[in-house]
Amino acid sequence: MPAFRWQIPERFNLGADVSDRHGTALALIEIEPSGKTRELTFDAISVLSNRLANVLVARGLQRGDRIAILLPQRHETAVAHVSAWKAGMISVPLFTLFGEEALEFRLQNCGARAIVTDREQLPKIAKLRDRLPDLETVLCVDGPAEGALDLHALAAQASDRFQIADTLAEDPALIIYTSGTTGQPKGALHAHRTLLGHLPGVEYPHDGFPQPGDRFWTPADWAWIGGLFDVVMPAWHHGVTVVAHRPRKFDPAEAMRLMGRYDVRNVFMPPTALKLLRASGAKDPGVRLRSLASGGESLGEDLIDWGRSALGLTINEFYGQTECNLVVGNGSALPPVRPGWTGTAIPGHTVAIVDEDGRELPAGEMGSIAYHRPDPVMFLEYWRNDAATKAKFRGDWLISGDLGVRDEAGYFRFVGRDDDLITSGGYRIGPGEIEACLSRHPAVALAAVVGEPDPIRTEVVKAVIVLKEGFAPGEALKSELQEHVRSRLAAHEYPRIVEFVRELPLTATGKIIRRALRSPKKH
């Protein structure tokens, strides 16, 4: 393989890069919930993003201000990010399934001055508005609404020309919140260069992306780094069309129909969706995929075998995390796929297994999976959290928080987390936020959250609860606690298993011994 060398320009604007270079080529096919489709060229994305950037500036927003984006997969979601970047502002993607508490923390923490959202999400924002002094502007993509301005009406009156901010590749562009295991989520602050850092990690698992005729889709939400920077922005950098459609619930038959009908050639699909697809037996003769990549958890040999027989291709795996994404993977241009192993380091990234002191370990020894800085895909810092940023590094090694092994040939195998992050349905869920939410319920004295193995989702969230005096365990209370989390945090975070115990196992310093709560165990 030829030697790899990064070419990162000193000045680089992410927004201009993905929207202003491909003219009349088709940028987006948006499939609305009704089934109606809309097609937008890169020229259209360029004009829309210029208009919205002018709207933001006219509202008094300045370079470095944070713009929250609380929308599903639709054209305004991508346009809002591009607009913020063009203006030198920082975009903050937020998941539409977040409840009020999850949104309040993130919006307060980043100090968002504006939010772009839809009518469905407005009631949540309205309830929080008094507690968000920085939030001055709410823009609604569905027309005028109480407490919100009509985004499209304002954009229609704005100029379609915009003076793009002269940004350094190193300047901040977005904050993506990641769930830690203790306390609240942390905002990973990324620079404009992160897109360029992602490109090899898309090219290799997608077997030489882009190729003529490529067209990209993912069922993963664009609020996460996987949807936004494994799919949308790398595709647009290369002038490749993206299909936008994310149903409320993943439907295997609908996914197959969509991939066939819209000539999808490239897909990023989390392992859970792949398992559901395999279990359904859904088929569509029109599906002609060229590449399928998956990440977030390990793919077993049977899933890879199924991909070859049912879809006619090898599912390529990749590995990374919000802070440093797409750094390990496999693909036809890399050493061959070895089931159970995530792959080798993607060209351009230095990945190793290190010990507690940040020393590199030899092949075969288990330790922390770590990435060496500098690296263009690596985050700048945790937003307003110096202590957490420092704790993430051992010398120049960024510690993933995952345990792994590397073999003599340079393949990496994910072993487990050296913390208690839960991997469920492709989401990485921190127990701390769920425990804090449960503890606010009047019946709960103590709450501990762990992951339980699950054949489809990898793990499901399990809550172990000690009740306050005067409350008795029962099915009704179990359902109430589940709904308490679902409505306040997110549907994918609610505990599918709720267990009541008299006491939690604690260390001498009062920390919960989570491993003692996982099955199998006796009560």
Name the region of 268 (left: φ>0; alpha: ψ -120 to 50; beta: rest): beta
Give, in degrees to the nearest 5, the angle at Cα 49 between 47 and 53.
120
8 A C-beta contact, residue 370 and residue 358? yes
- In terms of Cβ atoms closer than 10 Å to its own Cβ (0-12, 13-18, 19+), residue 97 is middle
> What is the model's pLDDT at position 418?
66
Q: Residue 522: what pLDDT?
A: 38
CA gap 400, 397 in Å, rounded: 9
Q: Alpha-carbon distance 461 to 132, whole Å? A: 30
- First-to-last alpha carbon distance for the chain, in angstroms, is 56
pTM, to two decimals? 0.86
Pick the CATH number of 10-28+64-192 from 3.40.50.720, 3.40.50.2300, 3.30.70.260, 3.40.50.980: 3.40.50.980
Q: How far apart are CA 138 and CA 239, in angstroms?
A: 31
User: How much is the pLDDT for 514?
Assistant: 77
Tell me which amino acid residue 61 is.
L
Measured over the CA atoms of residue 376, residue 381, residue 382 and residue 384, the dihedral's sign is negative
Instruction: Note the CATH number of domain 422-517.
Output: 3.30.300.30
Q: How far is CA 247 from CA 21, 33, 148, 311, in A?
A: 30, 7, 25, 22
Q: What is the pLDDT along the chain (523 residues), one digit of tens a residue?
A: 558 999 999 999 999 999 999 999 999 999 998 889 999 999 999 999 999 999 999 999 999 999 999 999 999 999 999 999 999 999 999 999 899 999 999 999 999 999 999 999 999 999 999 999 999 999 999 999 999 999 999 999 999 999 999 999 999 999 999 865 456 889 999 999 999 999 999 999 999 999 999 999 999 999 999 999 999 999 999 999 999 997 878 899 999 999 999 999 999 998 878 888 987 889 999 999 999 999 876 777 778 999 999 999 999 999 999 999 999 999 988 888 888 789 999 999 999 999 999 999 999 998 999 999 999 999 999 999 999 999 999 999 999 988 889 999 999 988 766 667 788 888 878 787 788 789 889 999 888 899 999 999 989 999 999 998 899 999 999 999 999 999 999 888 999 999 999 988 865 445 577 778 887 643 3
Is 376 in contact with 419 (CB distance < 8 Å)?
Answer: no
Please answer whether residues 304 and 315 qualify as being in contact, where contact means their C-beta atoms are separated by less than 8 angstroms: yes
How far lies 427's CA from each of 300, 385, 401, 457, in Å?
A: 18, 23, 15, 9
Query: What is the H or E stretch that residue 75 is in?
Result: helix 75-86
Domain boundaries, the chain: 10-28+64-192, 422-517
Structure tokens at 123: 């009631």
pLDDT of residue 219: 92
pLDDT for residue 184: 82
Cis geometry, peptide bond prior to residue 374 (ω within 30 degrees of 0):
yes
pLDDT for 523 equals 35
Task: Write the CA distances from 20 to 175, 310, 341, integer angstroms.
Answer: 23, 38, 39
Task: Supply the pLDDT for residue 521.
Answer: 42
Tokens (6 digits) for 190: 């990324």
CA torsion 429-432-437-439 (nearest 10°) is: 140
